[in-house]
A and B are shown apart, each in its own frame.
Chain A
């Protein structure tokens, strides 16, 4: 990346408010954050503090009430809904606690799905999925269905899907929440490797062991970013 290249993900003074009157809840308040390539940021904080809302806003799943979200320097709010959806689909990969693999598709089809939605030809999609699965240690499982693989394998497939193609922003919401410590470690190791190869990653976690894989830890409390003490090392 040249020194003038925009960051893969940038949040500028993001505020997110739900409801109004007595039901008004400020989920996020004036949050600014930049993720650089090769950087993994862990988001920690008490339950209900706004961590998942932050991830949803960063992933363009939720529009902020005010402030801007920029993906590779492009402001999502400046685009039409269709262009914003395209930006999300082609630049951002999402990983959830419960994998969110489509049960009626094979593992390979799940991984290649984002490329197929982009209109790439089927043979190219299959080959890309095969390589992506190989990179996360799941070679040979292309034809299995999600119910035929373990939780750890499903999460690795979800990571492969999240970063297939040109996607360089990986957002993960409690990706180890349903896994035991050993499997969770293996998943974080893969996530870390993908980020080391140049992706930018943000992981919401309440597990200090897994936050220890990040370059930077930020704490969100009552919707505010209260501790961004810079890099861990």
Chain B
């Protein structure tokens, strides 16, 4: 998760203090990804250092102490616009344990690969069942928790389809060891 870009996006609505940003982030994402105040203040410090935000003024916080508010600079606005415009590239998993496990099983005549795939499929569908239950309790709106559940359902669906595909493939010929 990019805390930096998230804070810039919230500051586009106007100046905010660190605690206001923390609260607003929590409200808009249903606290799916909790942010502590330390993460917010540290990130704001870095954004200020890099010229992306600047101090806008001071307000009296909830504890009656003065709190600085920050606003976007032109450079911050430019970076935010570029973030909205750019697609997010999902990092490929370099070492997917399941892929490694199946690759090794495919070379090992002592491992029942089909039984391994069946166990994995059951586990995947069990997780899907739990997510289906969760999704039944959520509104059909684009809230963070709904988006998170839908993403996870489709990830698991992809895994189950991958298992089907693996089952349809044949084992490689194991080269003789010297």
Of B118, B130, B153, which contacts A219 at CB under 8 A?
A: B118
Establish whether residues A233 and B125, one from each chain, have CB atoms under 8 Å apart when the complex forms. no
Q: How far is the CB of B159 from chain A (nearest CB, A)?
A: 8
Chain A residues positioned under 8 Å from B168 (CB to CB): 46
Residue on A with the closest CB to B131?
A212
| Number of cross-chain contacts by CB at 8 Å | 55
Of B126, B136, B161, which contacts A233 at CB under 8 A?
A: B126
Knowing A189-B136, A209-B157, A229-B122 are in contact, say whether A46-B128 is a contact too (CB < 8 A): no
A119: CB under 8 A from chain B? no
Query: How many residues in B have their beta carbons less than 8 Å from beta carbons of A?
Result: 24
Chain A contacts with B in 195-219, Cβ cutoff 8 A: 206-209, 211-214, 217, 219
Knowing A209-B157, A212-B131 are in contact, say whether A46-B118 is a contact too (CB < 8 A): no
Q: How far is the CB of B164 from chain A (nearest CB, A)?
A: 7
Q: How far is the CB of A230 from chain B (nearest CB, A)?
A: 9
Establish whether residues B118 and A227, one from each chain, have CB atoms under 8 Å apart when the complex forms. yes
Chain B window 108-138, contacts with chain A (Cβ cutoff 8 Å), 1 for yes, 0 for no = 0000001000110110111111111000100
Knowing A46-B167, A208-B160, A227-B118 are in contact, say whether A232-B126 is a contact too (CB < 8 A): yes
Query: How many residues in A have their beta carbons less than 8 Å from beta carbons of B?
Result: 20
In angstroms, Cα B133 to Cα A233, docked, is: 11
Chain B residues positioned under 8 Å from A221 (CB to CB): 114
B105: CB under 8 A from chain A? no
Chain B window 135-178, contacts with chain A (Cβ cutoff 8 Å), 1 for yes, 0 for no = 01000000000000000011011001100100110000000000
In angstroms, Cα B118 to Cα A221, docked, is: 11
In angstroms, Cα B160 to Cα A42, docked, is: 14
Chain A residues positioned under 8 Å from B129 (CB to CB): 212-214, 232-233
Chain B residues positioned under 8 Å from A212 (CB to CB): 125, 127-129, 131-132, 153, 156
Residue on B with the closest CB to A193?
B136
Q: How far is the CB of A110 from chain B (nearest CB, A)?
A: 28
A79: CB under 8 A from chain B? no
A226: CB under 8 A from chain B? yes
Establish whether residues B118 and A209, one from each chain, have CB atoms under 8 Å apart when the complex forms. no
Chain B contacts with A in 60-83, Cβ cutoff 8 A: none
Chain B residues positioned under 8 Å from A209 (CB to CB): 128, 132, 153-154, 157
In angstroms, Cα B123 to Cα A229, docked, is: 10
Of A189, A206, A217, A226, which contacts B125 at CB under 8 A?
A: A217
Chain A residues positioned under 8 Å from B132 (CB to CB): 209, 212-213
In angstroms, Cα B118 to Cα A44, docked, is: 11
Q: How far is the CB of B72 from chain A (nearest CB, A)?
A: 37
Chain B residues positioned under 8 Å from A44 (CB to CB): 121
Establish whether residues A208 and B118, one from each chain, have CB atoms under 8 Å apart when the complex forms. no
Chain B residues positioned under 8 Å from A42 (CB to CB): 125
Residue on B with the closest CB to A188?
B132
Chain A residues positioned under 8 Å from B114 (CB to CB): 221, 226
Most A CB atoms within 10 A — which of B119, B121, B125, B154? B125
- Measuring CB to CB, which residues of chain B are less than 8 angstroms from any residue of chain A? 114, 118-119, 121-122, 124-132, 136, 153-154, 156-157, 160-161, 164, 167-168
